[in-house]
Amino acid sequence: MATVRPFAAIRPRVDMAQTIAALPYDVYNRAEAEAHVRKFPHSFLAIDRAETQFPSDVSEYDPRVYQKAHDMLWEWVSDGSFVRDDKPYYYIYEENMDGRAQTGIVACASIDDYENGVIKKHENTRAEKEQDRINHVDACNAQTGPIFLAYRRNNTIEDVVRRHKSEKPVYDFTTLDGISHRVWIISEPEDIETIRNAFAGIDSIYIADGHHRAASAVKVGEKRRDEHPGYTGDEEFNYFLSVLFPDEELKIFDYNRVLKTLNGHDVMDVLSAVKEVADLRRQGRAPIKPQFKGSFSIYLDDTWYNFAFKQSLRSSDPVDGLDVSLLQNLILDPVFGIKDPKTDKNIDFVGGIRGLKELERRCHEDCKVAFVMYPTSISELFAVADAGRLMPPKSTWFEPKLRSGLFIHELDR
């Protein structure tokens, strides 16, 4: 059963929350991060990507970068930009995007639950990406970017959340991308106990987004355990910052593919190969978005095509039956020779939030063909994780993204 406990957050002063709140560190490349921090110097991205404080010839992995992140974080705490809560609380965090709200519980999840499989994964992590956040968390002595977790809807938790959301929020602001953010504090002992017990009755929690942040947080916790052999398990380093959302409120966007070459084929070769595994439904000059599972669209030679994989080739296997797996196994590998999409230089990935026009732009600029996917569902994600399997790379794109800097979890408080 899941251990999800309250914590005493370090969080922005109310009038600073909108300024400090930042998109996750990994949605920016270095040039983008530097440009953003120049424009918004008090964005938390300045701490999450502290290389922005150095000349470009200083590596983002330089030890001085992590030390700078530590120094800036605690300077901002000391100068009053942040406040410290004096007791452990749960927090309610609502994001509203295009009229659709998702509301999660901000809390600390257990590294033991991660290691024993109560918290389930669907994606592999890369050691070099883990190491960056290990160094950042360890140097800052704090977790600053929450892990995006999901659980199957629970009426008890929902009732507590609904009641608190009828009250005035602590934070209520809209970021430049048009997403509104609201936060409430659950401070009543009875409600805290109710939520703690409700999560204790949940047998599986799922990482929706943030596998590298989760793995890094766990490894810092393990390191602290090695450094404190008499640890009791109650110390803060045994837990990691999370926001837990009910599955029914989450939206997964399509995660699309663009290829830089046709692997020696011409347009007719590609279409003929696709027609061997999929049925053509529509074509035209106007963008066409897939409308159901098993369907996908192609933008090729200034024309849009919509296909559906042949029923005889589909699978009930939780991984092989994913649309992204069908595309990889039936088209990308045999037609374009893409064996490993994580490393192949011929493929790039474009989040569905960018729209179909972005795929057209890429095909006019540096690519030859785009594949538009029907979004993976949250139930498919759960099924893969429950089976102890892994999804192909870039299977899910969640929006809206959680903001960093709104909640900070100190590791030795």
pLDDT digits (tens, 9 = 90+) for 327-338: 999 999 999 999
Residue-wise pLDDT tens digits, 270-304: 999 999 999 999 999 999 999 999 999 999 999 99
Q: Is the pTM of this model over 0.85?
A: yes
Across residues 126-144, what is the average pLDDT? Answer: 92
CA distance 2 to 73: 31
In degrees and rounded to multiples of 5, residue 33 shows phi and psi of -65, -45
Across residues 60-71, what is the average pLDDT? Answer: 97
Across residues 338-360, what is the average pLDDT? Answer: 94
Residue-wise pLDDT tens digits, 3-36: 999 999 999 999 999 999 999 998 899 999 999 9
Strands 347-351 and 255-259 turn out to be antiparallel
Q: At what angle do helices 211-227 and 127-140 cross, to 10 degrees?
A: 60
Please report the pLDDT score of residue 123 as a whole number.
87
Residue 237 — pLDDT band, cuts 50, 70, 90? very high
Whether the predicted pLDDT of 413 surpasses 80: no
Across residues 233-258, what is the average pLDDT? Answer: 97
177 in Cβ contact with 22 (< 8 Å)? no
Q: What is the DSSP letter of 407?
A: -
176 in Cβ contact with 135 (< 8 Å)? no
Please report the pLDDT score of residue 125 as a whole number.
80
Whether the predicted pLDDT of 60 surpasses 90: yes
| Ramachandran bin of 347, using left for φ above 0, alpha for ψ from -120 to 50, beta for the remaining angles | beta
- Nearest CA among 251, 89, 47, 250 for reference residue 183: 89
Whether the predicted pLDDT of 215 surpasses 80: yes
Q: What is the chain's mean pLDDT, rounded?
A: 96
Residue-wise pLDDT tens digits, 177-208: 999 999 999 999 999 999 999 999 999 999 99
Residue-wise pLDDT tens digits, 108-132: 999 999 999 999 999 888 788 899 9
